[in-house]
Structure 1
Amino acid sequence: MLDETAQGVFTIAVTPFLSDGALDWDSIDRMVDFYIEKGATGLTILGMMGEAGKLMAQESIAVVKRVTARSTVPIVVGVSAPGFAAMKTLSDAAMELGAAGLMVAPPGSLKTDDQIVAYYHNTAEVLGDAPFVLQDFPLVTNVVIPTKVILQVVEDCPTCVMLKHEDWPGLEKISALRAASDAGARRISILCGNGGLYLLEEMLRGADGAMTGFAYPEMMAQVVAALRGGDLDRARDIFDAYMPMVRYEAQPGLGLAIRKYTLAQRGVIAHDTVRKPGTVLSAASKAEVNALAARQSVKLKSLGL
């Protein structure tokens, strides 16, 4: 089961589709193997970049079943939903199928601190004993969760064991949360998103690792390993080598299409299909990704990677 000690890289998985938009089961198997081979210590499925909102309920459960059966690392399942009934249906099924924990983002209707705290009280009640991840991603949810509110949720809800940190800018939030735990607040795991854009600085501020889906997941694993080994210069060199691609993939509205195209180019998934409504990369964009990949390869070779 997921707990407060979780660390490393929980890769946010894409959901592979065939060219007609149907689920691609062979690519799901290959993708799970790939992420683990590249250093994932866990996987997160049915997140925002996993196109969870485009799946039918039975498809979501089928994906959970396929991934949990295939994986040798813990699985976190995104169960965010407009209402608690749908959340409970998926969360109960996910835990029965062997998920290690669940992830919940706040709905955009929450406007005050009290509303946010009350929502997560209700979430904890609905999820029962299942450990959950609080996803803090205001750039998408439009819900700003102050540090004091996160600390209140952590204090009130023992099953909240992790923060998926995606505030931007958010480095000061990590420092404040770690200072609070040093002063006696319950310490939970902090894994960071945003495509790895700030991973190195986030780790230096006290994060435990990454929970994001950059198409080169080995970057996160290598940076985390170098930092844990005390080699900051090595971590910086690795981070810098991948940064042009991280920056390109971080484009709002295009990021998932870029990620899927890259994974298809790497032979991980058979098709770069984004289920409709979704973005299709232009030939110019694909050429830019290919150019970045070629330059990245040269830089990595110089680092012995």
Structure 2
Amino acid sequence: MTLTADAKGVYVISVTPFTDSGEIDFDSLDRVVDFYFDKGADGLTILGMMGEAPKLTQAESRAVADRVIRRAGGKPVVVGVSAPGLAAIGELGRAVMDMGAAGCMVTTPGSLKTDPQIHGYFAQVARTLGDDVPIVLQDFPLSTGVHISDEVLGRIIDEVPQVVMLKHEDWPGLAKITRLRAAEAEGRRRISVLCGNGGVFLPEEIARGADGAMTGFGFPEMLADVVRLAAAGDMDRAQDIFDAYLPLVRYEQQPGAGLAVRKYVLAKRGAIGSAALRAPGAGLAREAIAEVERLLARQEKRLKELN
């Protein structure tokens, strides 16, 4: 199944499980793939920033991709292939597409400084990967430092047909979704828009015209429920459910600590065997664990009240 501009729903950004000694835990990788789909994911995205992709070797990246794609059993898996050079992007991208990936996610390297450089980069990526490889453009200026204007994004959509999806992580960025959909209403080619940033603006993003979420959270069922309800027009119920999880979503937004929180919750729920991050990266301090546990208790209480 290859990605198209009509993709909708929730493509969970998967963690990469490690043992306490730092080796990839392939048994936990199987388990967390099953967990995400059991909790309502429509697809997965692997080897993203929250999947600790920069800490993997090229061989490990291929092994993880192969294992997840096989475990997904035909459900769509997008693979992050971002790298400093185009050769590495092409090598990993072609390899995972041969394995059965649905598409490749690519973000902007921080070296891009001008609008022509940004536009030219994605044209180069498309030529490197090939005409038949769907591309997810990850727009994440908070991490990359590269800001993609509406005009440049429009040129990429117009001139690089392999770009079928925007992973929208601009912040503030709700107006960008509105302007993108308005341009499509005037005749521009439609692309799918799935949103990241930990889902912190998810109800508003769906209301603005996003097709779903491409992010991670220790409770992926929240992402699935909010997207489903908001898409059906039941915004009040979607907001009520989102609000019940919002304190934990907010806690996850701490730079440098968010992934440790997510892995702690996933391990607590039995989705992975260990909450370990690969070095460099540390787990949660005792005080942070106590804070997360308090948030989880309050979340459970609120969800019971919402029935």
TM-score (normalizing by structure 2): 0.98
2:228 matched residue in structure 1: 225
Question: Percent sequence identity over matched residues?
Answer: 59
Shift, 1:301, TM fit: 1.3
Which shows bigger deviation, 221-230 or 132-141? 221-230
1:9 matched residue in structure 2: 10
Tell me if 1:58 matches 2:59: yes
Tell me if 1:236 matches 2:248: no
1:273 matched residue in structure 2: 276
Note if contact 2:110-2:144 (Cα within 8 Å) is conserved in structure 1: yes
AA of the residue aligned to 1:218: E
Tell me if 1:110 matches 2:145: no
SS of aligned partner of 2:172: coil
Shift, 1:215, TM fit: 1.2
1:34 matched residue in structure 2: 35
Please give the alpha-carbon distance, in whole angstroms, between the structure 1 residues aligned to 2:169 and 2:232: 25
Tell me if 1:205 matches 2:208: yes
AA of the residue aligned to 1:201: E
1:85 matched residue in structure 2: 87
**Can you list the C-alpha shifts for 1:75-133, whole angstroms capped at 9, x where unaligned?**
00000000011111110110000000000001000000000000001000001010010
**Can you list the C-alpha shifts for 1:2-22, whole angstroms capped at 9, x where unaligned?**
000001000000000000000
1:76 matched residue in structure 2: 78
Please give the alpha-carbon distance, in whole angstroms, between the structure 1 residues aligned to 2:233 and 2:143: 34
1:122 matched residue in structure 2: 124
Please give the alpha-carbon distance, in whole angstroms, between the structure 1 residues aligned to 2:33 and 2:81: 19
AA of the residue aligned to 1:227: A
Correspondence list, 1:253-292, <5 A: 253-292=256-295
Shift, 1:225, TM fit: 1.2
SS of aligned partner of 2:4: coil
The size of the alignment, in residue pairs, is 304
1:175 matched residue in structure 2: 178
Shift, 1:282, TM fit: 0.3
Note if contact 2:203-2:235 (Cα within 8 Å) is conserved in structure 1: no
AA of the residue aligned to 1:107: P
SS of aligned partner of 1:164: strand
Structure 1 moving runs of 4+ over 3 Å: none
Shift, 1:214, TM fit: 1.2
Structure 2 unpaired stretches of 5+: none
Shift, 1:229, TM fit: 2.4
Tell me if 1:139 matches 2:142: yes
Shift, 1:228, TM fit: 2.4
Please give the alpha-carbon distance, in whole angstroms, between the structure 2 residues aligned to 1:232 and 1:25: 39
Please give the alpha-carbon distance, in whole angstroms, between the structure 1 residues aligned to 2:140 and 2:282: 21
Note if contact 2:123-2:160 (Cα within 8 Å) is conserved in structure 1: yes
SS of aligned partner of 2:148: coil
Name the Cα RMSD after superposition: 0.7
Shift, 1:155, TM fit: 0.6
SS of aligned partner of 1:121: helix
Please give the alpha-carbon distance, in whole angstroms, between the structure 2 residues aligned to 1:265 and 1:295: 16
2:26 matched residue in structure 1: 25
**Can you list the C-alpha shifts for 1:221-256, whole angstroms capped at 9, x where unaligned?**
001111122211111110110100100011111111
